[in-house]
Structure 1
Amino acid sequence: MDVIQLIFNNIATHIVIGALFAIILYQVLKRLVGSFFKRTDFLNEKEESTLESMFISIVKYVVTFGFIVYVFSLFDVEIGNILAGAGIIGIIVGLGAQSLIKDLLAGLFLIYEKQLNKGDWVKVNNLHSGVVEDIGLRFLKIRQWSGVLLTISNGQVQTIENYNIEKMRVIENITTSFQEDPKKIFTLLEQICVRLNQELSDYLKTDALGAPIEPFAVFGMSSLNDQYRGYQYTITGLSDDLFYFTAAKETRRIIAETLFDNKIQMAEQHINLGEQNK
């Protein structure tokens, strides 16, 4: 009996019990948050998933902070007195509290301003691209195409290019040789657009009546001399954001097939060795 009482009076035992309670509490609250968002339908699926991720992150930090306060209380240390010490505050700031606050505020603004949602394909800082896997109070996690999970602090996010905000425009440039007749090319591109609208109609963004808002069309000649190689033409079409990458790939495939079947000479890179040797 004395042994059991001695064990339960030990501070280490209280810390272990507190840690187990914190873990269980976190798991319970996490399940409650998940269950709540599964039963709601006032937001779309992506927005609900994003808010769920944020709330789980908040729960995680609150439970962790509560456990730290509990451990300090076991040693009769008042958190309020610690925080009130100007010297301690200076140390905390020096260790990165400013960065922490910056990350927290940036994370809140990411959600409030709806810059991205969980599941969106984004490009961050014009360097990293992939699917948003998690949005926390401090960190943004992006699963790159290679499978690598990139974790970047919210405060480091400067620019976001989001490929999943309602609509995306497929823009494909075709550069042909100067030897190809522009009239012939325009006629062929019009035929390509007809095929694109027939085969890729399911990928196009539509209005309330189901009609394409901006079907595939020849935008025109976008350059008379594309990098000194040939005439450049452009085809565009407005697709649903969920199908953008598939629509772009299929568009390029159909364009390539049609140009090959019609033996269209594409532009080639020419290097004048005579001028380089001078």
Structure 2
Amino acid sequence: MAHTHSHAPSSQDQNAKRLMLAFGITASFMVIEVIGGLISGSLALLADAGHMLTDAAALLFALLAVIFSRKPPSGGRTFGWLRLTTLAAFVNAIALVVITVIIVWEAIQRFLQPQPVAGVTMMVVAVAGLIANIAAFWILHRGNEEKNLNVRAAALHVLGDLLGSVGAIIAALVILWTGWTPVDPILSVLVSCLVLRSAWRLLKESVNELLEGAPSSLDIAALKRNLNRSIPEVRDVHHVHVWMVGEKPVMTLHVQVIPPHDHDALLGRIQHFLEHQYAISHVTIQMEYTPCQGPDCHLNEAQAGHAHHHHP
């Protein structure tokens, strides 16, 4: 199983560099947007700066999580610090939800009592913010964000900022052409709703990992059927538990088998099947020759009917 870790340091180094670079860009332009928002009186700019503030914190937290996840396992922490990346993603999602609620509340106040907005200042700062966000998003999107929940969390924050900058530019154009200031809070609310949708999805994923849930893409009932079909000696599969530690799926299962001539060879075939069909390399298998007795033997059957409801 050692070979599964060989690529990790380089990918973690790449993630750390991307996060550090994106943090530098985001933190710098957050200050510019706050100043620009205060000078121009634009809520859309302040909303974007608010996203950038949570981004800067999120990126810093994500960076610390990547650094901590490199720490080797110990007697007390047998998985090392891998779960810290999931915790960081969870905190990021919560931060996004909170900041969105604050912006929507402020937008309602602004809509009821319109404030003057300096369109030109707003436009200049919004364009600068957009360029910064595109740069940061591009840097993060080149990371393995599909696999790393933490880099995905950071990229989602930056995507929210990018949409916020586009909203601020549209609002600035409308104000410059028509002088209609309510467009500023309206667009800040629309952007906040888009970000909220992404944050909710991220929150669900990170909570699922923290609650030791199986990956949403994995159908345990199907896995058991496939294992039965693929390896003739396997009679029954039970006590199946799958959970995520950072980006790594971990599995334990009991397998009732026909007594084999070569115990280790059969064990190797089951491990090979799980690694190549399901990309689960960290697996603990208990092989048994008699049928399972007790109420927990068919633990997963009760949930099999619900397995398909998790898929979007």
The TM-score normalised by the length of structure 1 is 0.31
Structure with bigger helix share is 2
| Greater Cα radius of gyration, structure 1 or 2 | 1
Question: Of the two structures, which has the highest relative contact order with CA contacts closer than 8 Å and spacing of 6 or more?
Answer: 2
